[in-house]
Amino acid sequence: MRELWLKILVCFFAGAGAGLGTGFAGMSAATVISPMLVTLLGVPAYDAIGIALGSDVLASAASARTYAKSGAIDIKNGVVMMCGVLSMTMVGSWLSTMVPNSTLGGFSVVMTLVLGLRFLILPVTSPNRTIQGGSPAVRIVKGAVGGACIGLICGFFGAGGGMMMLMVLTVVLGYELKTAVGTSVFVMTFSALTGTVSHFALGSGGPRLDLLLLCVVFTLFWAQVAAKIATRADARLLNRLTGAILTALGVVLIVISFW
């Protein structure tokens, strides 16, 4: 019974952190869930990545629906980027099978802290403006190439690619923040689905259904809450809040791993 409650507690906090990050800033749920499952429950890093990607699917889809209601999704350009993402996600998952378990787990923990500090120090904000980046053909090429790089990272490190997509959409293509987040979670829905299927297909066993179900439910709930708040709130405040959550989580996980 004690073990069951520990699983529920860990999955609840993992889902809360992942869902808030997804809904607020388009962050991959895998950034939070993977290190928590590895560090606190001793789940093998490869399996934890698959569970985290699985949790990304419904949470991203629900968040995308909320952003779509407020008109904050560019589906046309998002589909181009999605093609690039999906083309390389399975390649990334295949490459991750060759990497030692400790390397994947350690990277997830460190990345949580790094992303948290980035949100606090350099919040992702941009002025309201039309999509930029040259002619339609140039934007298509930029989106496809950027998507391919994101897909490789998604499959290899178990990240849904949300923050990488956010960077490409705001810095390279010139989206304003809320449209960038909405488009990011739209694409992440499909990249995470592809990553989940390929991850478990390439692995030696099936997913831990109990942990998968708990993480999916909790992540979905908090992603919905966060997305509804994010469509109305100040972007800088949301960045600070997400950064504080991730930084605190990263510090705790690092301390526990060296305990």
Please tell me the predicted confidence (pLDDT) of residue 12.
93
SS3 letters for the chain? Answer: CHHHHHHHHHHHHHHHHHHHHHHHHCCCCHHHHHHHHHHHHCCCHHHHHHHHHHHHHHHHHHHHHHHHHCCCCCHHHHHHHHHHHHHHHHHHHHHHCCCCHHHHHHHHHHHHHHHHHHHHHCCCCCCCCCCCCCCHHHHHHHHHHHHHHHHHHHHHHCCCCHHHHHHHHHHHCCCCHHHHHHHHHHHHHHHHHHHHHHHHHHCCCCCCHHHHHHHHHHHHHHHHHHHHHHCCCCHHHHHHHHHHHHHHHHHHHHHHHCC
Residue carrying structure tokens 């904000």: 125
Q: In which domain, by residue range, is 82 found?
A: 2-257
Residue stretches of the chain with pLDDT short of 70: 89, 93, 96-109, 111-112, 115, 124-134, 153-164, 166-167, 171-172, 203-207, 253, 256-259
Residue carrying structure tokens 């439910």: 217
Please tell me the predicted confidence (pLDDT) of residue 217.
93
Number of domains in the chain: 1
Query: Each residue of 89-107: pLDDT tens digit?
Result: 677 767 766 666 555 556 6
pTM: 0.73
- Phi and psi torsions of 70, nearest 5°: -95, 10
Q: How far apart are CA 106 and CA 172, in angstroms?
A: 30
* CA-based nearest residue to 64, from 78, 85, 80, 51: 78
Please tell me the predicted confidence (pLDDT) of residue 128.
45
